[in-house]
Amino acid sequence: MNVFRNLERGAGRGVFRNEEAFSPEFLPEMVVGRENEIKEIAFNIRPVAERRRPASMVVHGPPGTGKTCATRHVLKELSEYTQRAEPIYINCWRRSSRAAVLSAVLEKFDMVMPRRGISADELLQRAVELIRKSGKTPIIVLDEADALVEEGEEGIFYDLLRMNETERLNLGVIAITNREDMLSLLDRRIRSSLMQADIGFARYGPAELKEILKERAKAGLVPGSWDEEALGVCAAFAGKNGGDARVGITLLWLAGRKAEAGGGRITVKEVEEAKNRVLSEIKGRKEELLDGEDRAIMEFIRKKESVKSGDVYSEFSGVTERTMRGRLGKLESMGLLESEYVQGGKGRTRVFRAKG
């Protein structure tokens, strides 16, 4: 018997109705329990529909509390509501330089850009021209915005300020971050102009997590293929791990995979067996966002027990120390690395270790 046919006939067939519902890009139909936050974000952007300048804002809160999900939901509704806005979503882990962010803006206005060879100042100039010509108002979402600060690329905030103050483009900025303290380090002028409102997302409690998981199960799993109790265990585990919905959803997905290979039903047993893989799965997905250079740094550090910052600098000698410090800072804020200062022969040095 063909091995695939055999699998098809196996007891586990068809736990997933739409496995995409468990991917990080999936945007749920319903954002559970974030009505107030969504309303506030929308209220700040609303002026764009009347060609007035929207209020820019910071959206902050711990991992997995729905910041990205709620903001993308608002962008989607905004596109349906008015043609005057041009929502631009940028993940700054992926695009962590001034030039990379500006290129994302240009690409959205259909400009095909060579990544190298054009200075950031020139990119800015072109962006201003294109935006003006389009007659649309960009709503620029800088997700994981602290990566820009970590990498010493705060210049982008001055570019955005300039677009608004000098060029009078009236664009809106939504900076999303886990680390509000990072953005509070920025210049007062930037804060008062680009961070006028502040929207906090609190950690989810077990009841909210259970509700989110119920909705996700309905969207992604075959009806009747899971036990209620199993969802409860996923929610409790997510609750213990920082009230992080991503933990619960990933656990449910892993349990679904187990069920598909086995009994064809997600029970407490499958969930229990999948628990130990959740956190490394989440870390693996984050690493997929990294560019080649960041991956090489991770690989270099992972091969050893721990690495002194000086050894990283000399291994990657083509990169300036300042740039490398920024990259290491970003990888640490992503939760992929951890560091501590130790007393060495020549004073204190920073030592890095791969997490997990």
Q: Which stretch binds Mg ion (CB under 5 A): 60-68, 85-93, 277-285, 338-346?
A: 60-68
89, 95 contact by CB (below 8 A): no
- For residue 133, give the nearest of 102, 110, 153, 149 by alpha carbon: 110
Residues 52 and 85 sit within 8 Å (Cβ to Cβ): no
The encoded tokens of residue 139 equal 């709503």
Q: Which does 65 bind (CB under 5 to 8 A by kind): ligand ATP, Mg ion, none?
A: ligand ATP
Beta bridge pairs of residue 91:
143
Q: If contact means CB under 5 to 8 A according to the sort of partner, which of Mg ion, ligand ATP, none does residue 278 touch? A: none
CB closer to ligand ATP, 278 vs 312: 278
**Cβ-contact 77, 94 below 8 angstroms:** no
Which of Mg ion, ligand ATP, none lies near 329, with the C-beta cut-off 5 to 8 A by kind?
Answer: none
Which is nearest to 113 in space by CA: 125, 75, 84, 153?
A: 125
* 201 or 352: CB nearest ligand ATP: 201
Stretch that binds Mg ion, among 18-26, 61-69, 91-99, 300-308 (CB under 5 A): 61-69
Residue with CB nearest Mg ion? 68
Smaller CB separation from ligand ATP, 33 or 200: 33
Tokens 């040095």 belong to which residue? 349
Classify burial at 238, counting beta carbons within 10 Å of its beta carbon; exposed 0-12, middle 13-18, buried 19 or more: buried
- CB nearer to Mg ion: give 40 or 260: 40
Kindly state the tokens that stand for 302: 């992972």
Partner in contact with 31, chosen from Mg ion, ligand ATP, none, beta carbon below 5 to 8 Å by kind = ligand ATP
**Residue number with CB closer to ligand ATP (169 or 251):** 251
164 binds, options Mg ion, ligand ATP, none, Cβ within 5 to 8 A by partner type: none
β-strand pairing of 172-177 with 137-143: parallel
Burial class (CB in 10 A: 0-12, 13-18, 19+), 78: buried
The partner in contact with residue 325, picked from Mg ion, ligand ATP, none with C-beta cut-offs of 5 to 8 angstroms by kind, is none
Q: Which residues pair with 336 in a beta bridge?
A: none
The percent of the chain in helix, strand and coil, each rounded to the nearest 5, is: 55, 15, 30
Which residue's CB is nearer to Mg ion, number 16 or number 22?
Answer: 22
Q: Is 296 helix (H, G, I), strand (E, B) or coil?
A: helix
Task: Answer yes or no whether residue 68 interacts with Mg ion by CB under 5 A.
Answer: yes
Q: Minimum distance from CB of 27 to ligand ATP (Å)?
A: 7
Query: What minimum distance in Å lies between the beta carbon of 87 and ligand ATP?
Result: 16
Residue 100 CB, nearest distance to ligand ATP (Å)?
18
178 is a site residue for Mg ion (CB under 5 A): no
Query: Where is 134: in which H helix or E strand?
Result: helix 120-134
Q: Determine the interface stretch with Mg ion among 67-75, 103-111, 195-203, 288-296 (rule: CB under 5 A).
A: 67-75
Which residues lie near ligand ATP (CB under 6 A)? 28, 31-34, 61, 63-69, 178, 201, 212, 245-246, 249
- The CA angle 122-123-128, to the nearest 5 degrees, is 100
The site partner of 245 among Mg ion, ligand ATP, none (C-beta below 5 to 8 Å per kind) is: ligand ATP
- Contact set with Mg ion (CB under 5 A): 68
